[in-house]
Homo-oligomer: A and B are copies of this chain.
Amino acid sequence: MAKPHFLKHFLEPESVALVGISRRTGRGTFNIMESLMDYGYKGIIHPVNPNAKEILGAACLPDIDSLPVGVDLAVITTSRGLVPEIVRGCANRGVKGIIIVTEGFDEADERGKNLQKEIDEVAGKSDTRILGPNSIGVVNAFKSFSSSFLPLPKTPAPVALVSQSGGFFEGFPNCPFGKGIDLGNTGDIDFTDALACLKDDDDIGVIVLYAEEILRGREFVNTARQAVQKKPVLVIRGGRSVSGKKAAASHTGSMGGEEALYTAVFRKAGIYQVDSILDIGDFAKAFLHLPPFTGNRVGIVTPTGGGGIISLDAIEHFGFSPSALSTEMTDNFDGLFQPWITIKNPVDILSSAMTHGFKNVYQKVLEAFFRDDGTDVIFAVCGSFTLKTIKRMAIKYPAKPVVSWVVGADQVDIAEKAEKFDFNPYYPSPDSALRALKGVRRYYLARERLLLE
């Protein structure tokens, strides 16, 4: 049996000490104990504060020495000068993991850098592992645990974030995170540690990194390659621009590095680098819903000619091509189209639908693509009312991926109408859909490459 990874103490602690927790509670106080209880945590909480008898109904401990031995996790929010001594105390009491939320270390002034050195020394000498400093810590919606002082979504989504910023714990568009680890200044615990944990985590199907700086390059690549063989790893780089890189130095003390180097590292590891946080939700939706595929021949069904054309433009742009229609396939359409129409891919169903019924024609063309050996992926241009038909087909032919572009202005209305048909992923534009498909295809190609190497 695999040895449990040390990050288990952070993500699923049975007991947690909150060191430096304030007596002030309520709106605007950012009290971690209060937000933890609101989040639904069921484990043991030890507030540590020499000036309080109890906080939110729990007896306060006056100092670290009063902690029971072997607490899973301590979360430190004191002023920075007190942190090294508390860390030493925690290590002495056999605390398994420490999150240092406090700021003002490597990312700040000389005094901060010296304080961080003291902390690093403790980490080097004890079995206690340290996340941060300057970290919001962790969130785990699967176990209702979070050290965040801000309220977070409670969605146990199969997507994990490893980040150098806790601000992203709130999720990227259409992409809540079921688990999150904020590395902060990346002292003791780094990206490699987080990947080593999440690669074996069955709750998680997609891993997302927000990275300003990657340390331990070789170990990172090795661990990432193991992870990518099991599930996709995506990265959004922060600090790619001149001013962004400079800002990263004062955000997490990151030194940045050459962009070309990062690109090479990610490529070698099979990690998919995205340009926008929007791409991450788009990718995750496709990956989590679609069967595996590596082919690039796309069958397109559309009720709008122009929609078919800009779909083709996106299909080519993202490395796909329209599948060639076999005679066998077009023979299925006998009598559906006007005799002077040459049936081509994209199959424009509008005029046929006006005579033979929209749903009837749409389904016939869709099914022909599902049954066609020359088509690897189906791209369905449609309105939200057609998602039901597409879902039924996707269930009937589970081995072939289908994605939709739902045409229309009111995407909020579309999302609401489409909610129950969100089995087959749908997108607001052909480029969002094809960008996601490209990412998924690249993942399966990268995985094949890694398995062969």
Indicate if the CB atoms of B309 and A176 lie closer than 8 Å: no
A residues 330-366 in Cβ contact with B at 8 Å: 338, 340-342, 344, 346, 348, 350-351, 354, 357-358
What is the bound-complex CA distance between A350 and B170, given in angstroms?
A: 15
A128 at the interface (CB under 8 A from B): no
* Residue numbers in B under 8 Å from A168 (CB-CB): 304, 306-307, 407
Q: Which of B242, B277, B302 contacts A429 (CB 8 A)?
A: B277
Q: Which of B30, B163, B309 contacts A248 (CB 8 A)?
A: B309
Nearest chain B CB to A214 CB, angstrom units? 15
* Residue numbers in B under 8 Å from A415 (CB-CB): 412
Q: Which of B155, B175, B177, B340 contacts A111 (CB 8 A)?
A: B340
A residues 422-436 in Cβ contact with B at 8 Å: 428-432
A404 at the interface (CB under 8 A from B): no
Closest to A177 in B: B409
A residues 292-317 in Cβ contact with B at 8 Å: 302-310, 312-313, 315-317
Give the oligomeric copy count: 2
What is the bound-complex CA distance between A108 and B236, given in angstroms?
A: 47
Indicate if the CB atoms of A304 and B166 lie closer than 8 Å: yes
Closest to A348 in B: B251
A residues 81-126 in Cβ contact with B at 8 Å: 103-104, 108-109, 111-112
A4 at the interface (CB under 8 A from B): no
A residues 396-424 in Cβ contact with B at 8 Å: 407-412, 415-416
* Residue numbers in B under 8 Å from A431 (CB-CB): 275-278
Nearest chain B CB to A96 CB, angstrom units? 27
Q: Which of B173, B176, B241 contacts A313 (CB 8 A)?
A: B241
